[in-house]
Amino acid sequence: MSQTIPFTDFNFKLAVVQELMYNQELLPKFDLREYAAEKGFTYDAGSVEAVPEASAYFEALEVPAELAEKITEIEMDGGNEIYLEIAPNWDGEDSLFDVDEFADVAHFPNLKSMTLLFTGNEEALESLRARGIEADWL
């Protein structure tokens, strides 16, 4: 069995999964409509809240460690597919997907640039830049 990446921050994991699943297509795509039909649950497509079943899916998703080297940039954007699959009508106006902890960058030796959802956390930007990662707010 292959090793998986042990994430400490769920939202950082989501940013990585966005890159691997939707941008590079290295993980099977998650589609909320299909998943809901398959699992037999309904959700409010107009809600800006996270659909609990979708969050649980990504919580449980294991990211193979060998994919870590494929991550060279992370671009967090309110329009990223992963966010809209979790919270279908999310508008990017709250902190639902903000990353609070950046220890996970240690798993990604080739990560060179990150664009973050704006939190105003200048300390986070400085810690990323100190690791040689070009980091900025969206």
3 state SS for the chain: CCCECCCCCHHHHHHHHHHHHHHCCCCCCCCHHHHHHHHCCCCCCCCCCCCHHHHHHHHHCCCEHHHHHHCCEEECCCCCHHHHHHCCCCCCCCCCCCCCCCHHHHHCCCCCEEEECCCCCHHHHHHHHHCCCEEEEC
Residue 69 counted as domain residue: yes
Residue 38: CA atoms inside 13 Å, Cβ hemisphere, count? 9
Q: How far apart are CA 96 and CA 72, in angstroms?
A: 24
Task: Tell me, yes or no, whether 5 lies in a domain.
Answer: no
Please check whether residue 32 lies inside any domain of the structure.
yes
Instruction: Count how many domains the chain has.
Output: 1
Please name the residues in contact with 60: beta carbons below 8 A apart, sequence gap of 6 or more.
none
Domain annotation covers residue 4: no
Q: Is residue 127 part of a domain?
A: yes
Evaluate whether residue 130 is within a structural domain: yes
Q: Tens-of-pLDDT digits for all 138 residues of the chain?
A: 579 999 999 999 999 999 999 999 999 999 999 999 999 999 999 989 999 999 999 999 999 999 999 999 999 998 999 999 999 999 888 899 999 889 999 999 999 999 998 777 888 899 999 999 999 998
Rounded distance between C-alpha atoms, residue 61 and residue 7, angstroms: 11
pTM reported for the whole predicted model = 0.95
Residue 93 lies in a domain: yes
Q: What is the pLDDT of residue 47?
A: 87
> Which domain covers residue 39, as residue numbers?
10-137
Q: Does 119 map to a domain?
A: yes
